[in-house]
Amino acid sequence: MTEQGAPALRILLACALGMSTSILVARMQEEAARQGKSHRIWAADQSTIEAQLGEFDVVLLGPQVKHLLKKVKGIVGEAAPVDVIDARAYGRGQAAAVLHQAEQLMRKD
């Protein structure tokens, strides 16, 4: 649970190989901790999403694989919301903005 009483989220960032998002993951983990949230955040290759079904609450795709959004939504189905990380926030490494994006997706669900 977070300090605000909301449950911790399991956030998967998916990209081409899971490597380009690793810096953003580290920043998001730091930001979540700073906000008193115990979210689990990790990066993975987009090809592993199906194998990880049930392990995440939300999937955010790196902007470089945004062309896979429809395919990933088809794989994930109703299991979790899926979206593309805002390109500006991704490029600038704005962890708070991407964390907020993930949390907003869960609120819409």
> pLDDT at position 107, please?
83
| 108 confidence band (pLDDT: 50, 70, 90) | confident
Q: List, for residues 53-86, the tens digit of each pLDDT value.
A: 999 999 999 999 999 999 999 999 999 999 999 9
Homologous superfamily of 10-108: Response regulator (3.40.50.2300)
- The residues annotated as belonging to the active site are 15
Q: What's the burial of 85, exposed, middle or buried (CB within 10 Å: 0-12/13-18/19+)? A: buried
> pLDDT at position 18, please?
64
Q: Are 97 and 60 in contact (CB under 8 A)?
A: no
Q: How far is CA 38 from the centre of its chain?
A: 14
Q: Give bridge partners of residue 14 from the DSSP assignment.
A: 44, 61
